[in-house]
Structure formats: structure tokens, C-alpha cells
Structure 1
Amino acid sequence: MLERIRLFLASLDTQSQAQAPLDFATALGALMVEVMRADNEIAPDELTMIAKLLRQHCQLSEQSSELIRTEAQRLVDDAIDLHRFVKVVNDHTDEEERIEVIELLWMVAFADGKLDPQEDYTVRKLAGLMYVAHGDFIAAKLNVKEVLGLAD
């Protein structure tokens, strides 16, 4: 019995070591997917917004952005937590760029025309994990609402 447990634990260790490193676009896509899924609805407008933002901010083709979004969805489905994705984004961005990432997350949250409390909570949680100050978090939200023409 102990031998089987040891073998099982060894296989888990091997699997975690074999996990391929993430690129920035996929990690960013995963965070956007997490915001999209926060309200337990996947709206077509949100899927479109994620692909559009990946194209614009990661200089990807339409086909590449769609593939990365699909891969990000798969990774989020399999993920235990978001720290792997947040770490990649934090490692590749400075403070100002992380605020821009929060703006992108807000754009996904507002893509379907409404903000669900779970989406708000998810962006807030990610902002904390990315060390974005609360004032910058709020300013990013207000900026996106203004850009999208959404009223309070």
C-alpha cells in the first residue's frame, strides 16, 4: 500500500515538472477567460472581446488569437488556481503595464453589457495578486466604462 502511494506521489511530481512554460499571451488569455467564466456564463461578446484584445495587445493574427483563447480556456479548466498565470503576467510587466492588464480584464467583464458581482470580485482578486493599488484598480474600471460608453 505504501509503495503505491509513493509511486502515485512520484507520478504527480513528474507531471508538474513536465508542465510546459507559459508564454505571456496564453497567461493573459487565461486571466481573461477566468473573468469571462466568473458569472458562469460564456457570452459570445466576451469570447470575441478576448480574441480581439489578444490580437491588439499581443500582436497576434486572428487565427493565433483564437487558438490562444481556446488553449487558455483548456488551461483554466485544468488549473487548480490562477497563480501560474498571474506569475507569468507579473514577470513580463511593470506596474503601469499591470494596470493596463486590469483594464483589459474590465473590458472582458463589461463585454456583454453588464457587470456581474462575480466578475467584479474576480477582477478585484486578480488586481490584488498583480499588486495593483486599489486606486488604480478603480481608475481602470472607470476608464473602461467611459471608453465603452457605459453609465453607472
Structure 2
Amino acid sequence: MIRSLLSKLSQPDPSPLGDDDARLAIAALLVRLARSDHAYGATEIAEITRILSHRYGLTPDAAATLRQNAEKLEADAPDTVRFTNAVKDGVPLDDRIAVIEAAWSVVLADGVRTMEEDALMRMIPRFLGITDLQSNEARLRASRVINGGAD
């Protein structure tokens, strides 16, 4: 599955992703974001696993397996532009907004926003066809979840 998706992502004009490939690509995008600051820790790993479990209705073990596969994919995946373009072409707008909210949850999970994470969070929404306003609204929703409903 990982090799197949890597092959698709490496094509000059990748075909739209199927559901399983889109799920793996989204998970890998979250991993890429979490790894961007070279501090991929337990809090971010747990947050990605929680997001995958909630988003796809997976058991914690199945979500952890998806995350582990995403870690492998992310390590070998092409540049972020090609990666996000494949997600954009294969995932409806409402789901892409949910992906940005999930991405913000990963960034905010450890309580530290680094320059690397901020740089990717300026780039990823744009590549996914998400406006700055939509991204900011997603950040606020993610912040409320991370902070237990408090603003």
C-alpha cells in the first residue's frame, strides 16, 4: 500500500486518491507536520493516533497501525507540495478543512508552536485550497478541543 501510494505521488500528474490512499496520505501529512520541528514526541504521536481513531472510527490499535504506516510513508514521500496536491485532488473541501483542524491539533498538542510548524501551517492550507480565514477558524476550534473547551 505504501509503495503504491508513493508511486502515485511521484507521478507528474497523480490520479485522484482512493479512500484508503487518502486516509494514509492525510495521516502522513499529520506526521510530516509533527516531525517538522525534529521533536516528534509522545504527545504528538498520541494526538495523531487519537485524531485517526476519531476521524475514521478506528480502534486505538488500528489507528496506531495507520499512524505507523503513515510514518513510513512520510519518511519516503516526495516534497510537501506534491503530497498536499494529491490530498487536495482526492479529498472534498469539507474534509480538507477537517484535515487543517486536525493539523492544528497536532501543532497545539505539545503546547509549543515552533517556526517550522508555523511555516508548514502557512503553506499546507494554501496547497489544500483552504483560505487563511478557514485555517484560522480551524485553529480556534482545535485550540478549544486541546484546551478542553476553554478559549
In the superposition, the TM-score normalised over structure 2's length comes to: 0.79
Q: Within 5 A, what are the aligned runs for 1:2-151?
A: 19=7, 23-149=21-147
Max Rg structure? 1
SS at match of 1:23: helix
Alignment check: 8 A CA contact 1:103 1:144 kept: yes
Give CA deviations for 1:91-133 in whole Å, capped at 9, x if unaligned.
3432222111100000011111121121111122110110101
Q: Distance in 2 between matches of 1:17 and 1:145?
A: 32
Q: Distance in 2 between matches of 1:16 and 1:144?
A: 32
Alignment check: 8 A CA contact 1:30 1:85 kept: no
SS at match of 2:95: helix
- Taking every aligned residue pair, what percent have the same amino acid on both sides? 29
Mark the CA change 1:28 to 1:117 in structure 2 (over 3 Å): closer, same or farther: same
Q: Distance in 1 between matches of 2:42 and 2:80?
A: 23
Q: Distance in 2 between matches of 1:91 and 1:146?
A: 29
Range 36-45 or range 57-66, more displaced: 57-66
Q: Distance in 2 between matches of 1:99 and 1:134?
A: 11
Q: Distance in 2 between matches of 1:111 and 1:17?
A: 28
Q: Distance in 1 between matches of 2:54 and 2:69?
A: 18
In the superposition, the TM-score normalised over structure 1's length comes to: 0.78
Q: Distance in 2 between matches of 1:141 and 1:18?
A: 29
Q: Distance in 2 between matches of 1:42 and 1:17?
A: 23
Runs of at least 4 residues off by over 3 Å: 15-18
How many residue pairs end up in the alignment? 138
**Structure 1: gaps (5+ residues):** 1-14
In the alignment, residue 123 of structure 1 is paired with which amino acid? Answer: M
